[in-house]
Amino acid sequence: MSDIDYLAFRRLDLNLLVAFDALLSEGGVSRAAARLCIGQPAMSHALSRLRELFKDDILYREGGAMQPTARALALAPRIRQLLGEVQAVALADAEFDPATVQGNFRLALNDPLEALLLPGLVARLRAKAPGLSLSVRPIPASRQLEHLDQGNIRLAVGHFPSVRDVHEAQLLYRSGFCCVYNPALLAMPSPIRLADLMRYPHIHTSYTGDEPGLIDQVLHKAGLKRHVVAQAASPLAIPFVVKQSPLLAVVPDLVARLFAAHADLAIETLAVDGLDLPISRVMHRRDRSDPLTRFVAEQVESAALALFASAA
């Protein structure tokens, strides 16, 4: 394809092509002006500019009617096609129909969020976009933004202590924390305070890999340090461990929701100022205007709203 003459485009007002199409369709200045909701003088001015642009009369009067010139008739289908293509590009989002989407969408969720969010998210996507398949990528939380930047995924959902300017983050939920333990093996007071956490060894899991967890940072500020004797790769292992060992686990309340079936465990709220875990949905700036990414992001937010409303 030949190069675009950008300087020539600077001299061209594309609205003139809209006026051309209206003039040819309506066959007169007055009707074309009414169709475009502008005044007749403005439409007459547009016709004058079109005549100058194309070096042709475009419309001429014959008897009591305006007639198109041969050049105008030759240009009309090409300009109509061009306007249709411009409209399709400019209004792509408005024409997006999730029911007709085909393909695969990749995102990242950590273990507990996958177990919590995926049921509602899949149900929404099956109802609204049955041709879309969803792939949750097994990416460590500490590397999810890196994979988002590389285009390996299009959404990431989790706890991200910091994001960059190229990321758009939407807060979904602020999770408090709970203590999980087996009351047959441990005796904990109620309510549980920070100092009480020092009485027993802990099992720990982190959203950010091997770095100290949020609870460790809060304890450090209070001059305390807990004794961690086990670190699990996934928080989903915690209830099975504490059932058999006199260990204490401090987990976000959204994770503790997954332990509800373990009726023999105690799940106690740990009310400490500044101890909460923001959960966000993050997309890359390059996908901000992509209608499919926006659609899936909206379904994630809707599923999260329904899920976390009862936990708030």
**Residues 91-115: tens digit of each pLDDT:** 655 678 899 999 999 999 987 888 8
**pLDDT of amino acid 134:** 94
Between 208 and 20, where is the model more confident?
Answer: 20
Co-location of 194 and 268 in the same domain: yes
* Domain contains 32: yes
Co-location of 54 and 202 in the same domain: no
* Domain contains 282: no
pLDDT at 247 over 80: yes
pLDDT at 1 over 50: no
H-run or E-run covering 282: strand 277-284
Co-location of 143 and 191 in the same domain: no
* Domain contains 95: no
pLDDT at 11 over 80: no
* Per-residue pLDDT tens over the stretch 187-237: 999 889 999 999 999 998 865 555 667 888 888 888 999 999 998 888 888
* Per-residue pLDDT tens over the stretch 119-165: 999 999 999 999 999 999 988 888 999 999 999 999 999 989 889 99
Closest by Cα among 140, 213, 223, 209 to 177: 213
pTM: 0.69
Co-location of 160 and 191 in the same domain: no
* DSSP letter, residue 110: -
pLDDT at 8 over 70: no
Mean per-residue pLDDT, 245-265: 90
Helix ranges (H only) for the chain are 6-10, 15-26, 29-36, 40-54, 70-90, 111-128, 144-150, 214-221, 238-244, 253-256, 291-309
Mean per-residue pLDDT, 4-27: 82
Co-location of 123 and 155 in the same domain: yes
**pLDDT of amino acid 217:** 86
* Per-residue pLDDT tens over the stretch 39-83: 999 999 999 999 988 999 999 988 878 899 999 999 999 999 988
CATH number at residue 108: 3.40.190.10
Co-location of 259 and 300 in the same domain: no
The pLDDT confidence band at residue 312, using thresholds 50, 70 and 90, is very low
Q: What is the DSSP string of 42-93?
A: HHHHHHHHHHHHHTS-SEEEETTEEEE-HHHHHHHHHHHHHHHHHHHHHTTT
* Domain contains 117: yes
H-run or E-run covering 169: strand 167-175
Co-location of 183 and 258 in the same domain: yes
Co-location of 155 and 296 in the same domain: yes
Co-location of 183 and 271 in the same domain: yes
Q: Determine the structural domain holding residue 141 and report its residue range.
A: 100-165+288-309
